[in-house]
Amino acid sequence: MNKSAKKLLSENDLGKTNSHQAGILIPKSLVAAGVFDSLSTTVKNPRVQLRCWDSSLETYFFPNYIFYNNKYFSGTRSEYRMTGLSAYFRETGLRPGDLMIFTRTAKFEYTVDIERCNRKAAGLSEESWKQIYER
């Protein structure tokens, strides 16, 4: 069984609010559930490149997966994010309210399916993610 989660995209996720936050927030609950991998707390802001297969475009894209963890280095941040998605968002024409479904196929590898829902997404929140238990 592959672990999956779907992300309801907000304007903030797509970079349309001119906020200072980069990329999609990954809830720690999805890391704990094994949908996304945990990253080190002993290295400041560790990052890896994910390998994602977009089934609609039949091509790979390679976002960054970062654990902003300065909480472990006298700071306050402790959050996972997926960044480097701007070109992918432009190419796919994703809009707020669309869904991205991430299905883990291997460590740091995913299949990504898109559902165009054309509804207005709520602001940035953990509730914009939903884990799917079987795919």
pLDDT in tens, the chain (135 residues): 789 999 999 888 888 877 766 689 999 999 999 999 999 999 999 999 999 999 888 999 999 999 999 999 999 999 999 999 999 998 999 998 899 999 999 999 999 999 998 655 555 455 667 766 554
Question: Please, what sign has the CA dihedral across residues 134, 106, 51, 123?
Answer: positive
Distances (CA, A) of 125 to 25, 79, 128, 130: 8, 12, 6, 11
The ranges assigned to domains in the chain are: 4-132
With 0-12 / 13-18 / 19 or more C-beta atoms within 10 angstroms meaning exposed / middle / buried, residue 135 is middle
Q: Which helix (H) or strand (E) holds 90?
A: helix 86-92
How far is the C-alpha of 53 from the C-alpha of 5, rounded, in Å?
15
pTM, 2 dp: 0.84
CATH fold, domain 4-132, is: At1g16640 B3 domain (2.40.330)
